[in-house]
Amino acid sequence: MAGAAPRVRYLAGFCCPLGGLAAGKPRVLCHEAEVFLSTGSELVYVYDQEGGLLTAAFRFPDQVWHLELLAPRRLLYALCARRGLYCLSLDHPGRSRSTSQDDRDSEDGDQPSPVIPVDPDACILPDAALCAFTLLDSVLVTLVQGPARWKMQLFEQPCPGEDPRPGGQIGEVELSSYTPPAGVPGKPAAPHFLPVLCCVSPSGSRVPHDLLGGSGGFTLEDALFGLLFGADATLLQSPVVLCGLPDGQLCCVILKALVTSRSAPGDPNALVKILHHLEEPVIFIGALKTEPQAAEAAENFLPDEDVHCDCLVAFGHHGRMLAIKASWDESGKLVPELREYCLPGPVLCAACGGGGRVYHSTPSDLCVVDLSRGSTPLGPEQPEEGPGGLPPMLCPASLNICSVVSLSVSPRTHEGGTKLLALSAKGRLMTCSLDLDSEMPGPARMTTESAGQKIKELLSGIGNISERVSFLKKAVDQRNKALTSLNEAMNVSCALLSSGTGPRPISCTTSTTWSRLQTQDVLMATCVLENSSSFSLDQGWTLCIQVLTSSCALDLDSACSAITYTIPVDQLGPGARREVTLPLGPGENGGLDLPVTVSCTLFYSLREVVGGALAPSDSEDPFLDECPSDVLPEQEGVCLPLSRHTVDMLQCLRFPGLAPPHTRAPSPLGPTRDPVATFLETCREPGSQPAGPASLRAEYLPPSVASIKVSAELLRAALKDGHSGVPLCCATLQWLLAENAAVDVVRARALSSIQGVAPDGANVHLIVREVAMTDLCPAGPIQAVEIQVESSSLADICRAHHAVVGRMQTMVTEQAAQGSSAPDLRVQYLRQIHANHETLLREVQTLRDRLCTEDEASSCATAQRLLQVYRQLRHPSLILL
């Protein structure tokens, strides 16, 4: 049946909950052109197939669990959860309360039919424990959920035209015990699986087919009926009630024996016979014709004609199917043949059709099996008279329709096919027209050649499927790996962004040191990435280190650009660290522009991780389609800043004079020199002074000086933690050089002044001394510490002064946050100092403008005056408090 192609036509759509309709409670009944449908909610719909319209909708007070139609009397019976049994007359639907405007407004706009609330008087059998029922012409059979046992009750049905309320109870019997589901005390809990009831009559019974159990009864051939239910049921010509319970039991009760038991009480257990135990909830009981000739004739019966079935079937929820049929044994005796089949599950619903076919639905497919295959004679030794056997195994054929929760088989169509009426889990009512005769041929003998060719085709198909499975498994593994990586990236991002000002779970620290490469000294930065979190940095992570010089930062229009280094981070687990060393300068021009900013950032590439998982990674993969571009992430990735470190002059100073004499390293080399100048220097006479602009400037020009004064009290408060017991001047110098490699020697020698060498080879002298400021405070002199920077290079002194001022600003900000207060000051004196500085700044602007217009002779005096003003500005009379 691989070529089956059902023609599906959607009739209507109905409201359903978010997760879809649950199996077991939805019900679809078909009588002529009318369809009666329940989705398991409070509504029962009536749909006209000829007009394609929803003609009515009945609203019940609670969920509708089961529907039965007594077609000759035009009565619709509905089991309402925790309410009881309701009966509606389809000829007079107006007997229920008329539709109000509120009811119309409350319904879905897609339902043009009126919603008729069911009148409470329509409840003919109120019982909150009622779980199942079935109908016979003169008997109503119910199944009640007792405290510990199921109880079957029989009621007398009224005659046609009378009040549909049942008469007195005419029989009762208890079935097997069960474990009741947990519920609210005083209110019975709804069972997860409802029991299944149906009526079975022998072929000689006088009960018409259309009155046999409404829409749930059938007639069995005498042979099978007698084998299943015994001689008493056959002699009495009594209908039998089959009951499938949620625990898997399939039992039967003879109705006439149950009725007479009230007048002649006996052993109640003798009234109940257990036919089989499926060991899983029974969800369907039905019967069908399996003999080839009889099955073909059964398909041509009119709906009102009686069909004598020769096979009883029952379905369990997990896919176990029971089939019982009368068959001949080896001795020629008629015996019941019972077979269990394991079909794909879970089974949502099932139905018996013509031609010996049984339809059953799973969440993934609607399948059909053929029970008439076992009845075909397989050889001349098998007699053709009498019933055949059941097939040893069943092979379900797919109809390519999924999630059908209720199914009804309509009579044979005029075209000769089979028509199914189905309700899907999404609430869609549809018809499926099937032509299975041409698609399910009988078994034919194979030749050796055809069998070999068939085996080759099957093996080739298995190989192709295996190859495809391996490719798909590889793709699934890649996507699982990508999802794991994305989860780790999300955790890392949340950990870094939520750390605030506290210690970061992933940190990057930067330190600097001088290294000699060939004939040039190079300033190297060492960045240490440390993972202190519980997460791992794997695929997609990159450490980005950006080096930005002061010239690039100050001159935005310049052609220079920042240098960015990218280092892939691979397998950096918790507690691991990664060290990266890179050069900071001097650059190609031989200079080192200070300060230099080193920024460290973690970058997570979304395109590398997600794009690699969605796009085919192997060009030879024929089963994976290329991922559309709109599925890939729009952003390249995610940036997580780690640290920002500034390298200034104080960190780059070198102190060759601090090394012991026996370990003293050669003097630091300056920038790369011209080879001619180097040759001339080697040829000069011993004892003569070197010639050059730097040497002349250092010999004949006085050094430039810059200073800054800080309150001694402010310094003591800031340095009290790590410098207790150390003189204040020494502690201040150690604090200024804390990030310099020579700080340990400075600390060991308790120095308060030191002379170092700048990156360009010029000397820089740092002097820290205590002074007293006598003119600021009326209460007396203020003890202060003066930090003085001296150098013959104006550029170096500016860089060193900038580094000192930056540290002071950070210290003052931290102390101000702690609530430090300043002493009383002479405001008039401060105003005078401020006015003097304003005057000097205006003079600087005037002198700079004059330099642009004067000739070379006059500009020398102007430049000299400008330097004097700069020196005054770098010696302020103010103090940091």
In-domain check, residue 146: no
User: Which CATH number belongs to the domain containing residue 534 in this structure?
Assistant: 2.60.40.10
Task: Determine the structural domain holding residue 598 and report its residue range.
Answer: 506-551+561-613+635-647
Q: Is residue 762 part of a domain?
A: yes
Task: Pick out the chain residues at pLDDT < 70.
Answer: 1-6, 92-113, 180-190, 206-216, 261-269, 292-306, 373-388, 411-416, 436-446, 551-561, 587-590, 612, 614-635, 659-701, 722, 819-827, 877-878, 881
744 with 869, same domain: the answer is: no
Q: At what angle do helices 856-873 and 827-851 cross, to 10 degrees?
A: 160
178-187 contacts, C-beta under 8 A, 24 or more apart: 178/148, 178/149, 178/150, 178/245, 178/246, 178/247, 180/145, 180/147, 180/148, 187/82, 187/128
Residue 363's identity, in one-letter code, is P
What pLDDT is attached to residue 97?
Answer: 42
Q: Determine, yes or no, domain membership for 872.
A: yes
pLDDT of residue 552: 60
> pLDDT per residue over 147-206, tens digit each?
888 999 999 888 777 778 888 888 889 887 777 665 555 555 667 889 999 999 998 776
Residue 685 belongs to what H/E stretch? Answer: none
Residue 106, in any domain of the structure:
no
The burial class, CB within 10 Å (0-12 / 13-18 / 19+), for 673 is: middle
Q: Which of 823, 851, 867 is the last residue of a domain?
A: 823
* pLDDT given at position 180: 66
> How confident is the model over 577-626, as pLDDT tens digits?
999 999 887 866 667 888 899 999 999 888 788 776 766 544 445 444 45
The confidence score (pLDDT) of residue 265 equals 61
In 223-307, DSSP assigns E strands to 240-244, 249-254, 272-277, 282-288
| Residue 653 sits in the same domain as residue 801 | yes
For position 529, what pLDDT does the model report?
A: 93
Q: How many domains does the chain have?
A: 3
The dihedrals phi and psi of 500, each to the nearest 5 degrees, come to 65, -135
Assigned token pair, 782: 């203020």
**Residue 798 counted as domain residue:** yes
Same domain for 793 and 839: no
- The number of beta carbons lying within 10 Å of the beta carbon of residue 815 is 18
3-state secondary structure of 447: coil
Does residue 817 sit in the same domain as residue 846?
no
640 with 601, same domain? yes
Residue 774: inside a domain: yes
655, 802: one domain: yes
pLDDT in tens, 436-457: 655 454 444 557 787 888 888 8
Rounded-to-integer distance, Cα 24 and Cα 81, Å: 13
Residues 789 and 732 in one domain: yes
Q: 654 and 803, same structural domain?
A: yes
Is residue 785, in this structure, part of any structural domain at all? Answer: yes
Strands across the sheet containing 541-549? 563-568, 541-549, 596-605, 637-647
**pTM for this one?**
0.52
Residues 789 and 845 in one domain: no
What is the per-residue pLDDT for 101? 39
- Co-location of 787 and 655 in the same domain: yes
Nearest to 359 by CA among 45, 79, 1: 1
- Around Cβ 435, how many Cβ atoms within 10 Å? 16
Same domain, residue pair 761 and 840: no
> Does residue 758 sit in the same domain as residue 837?
no
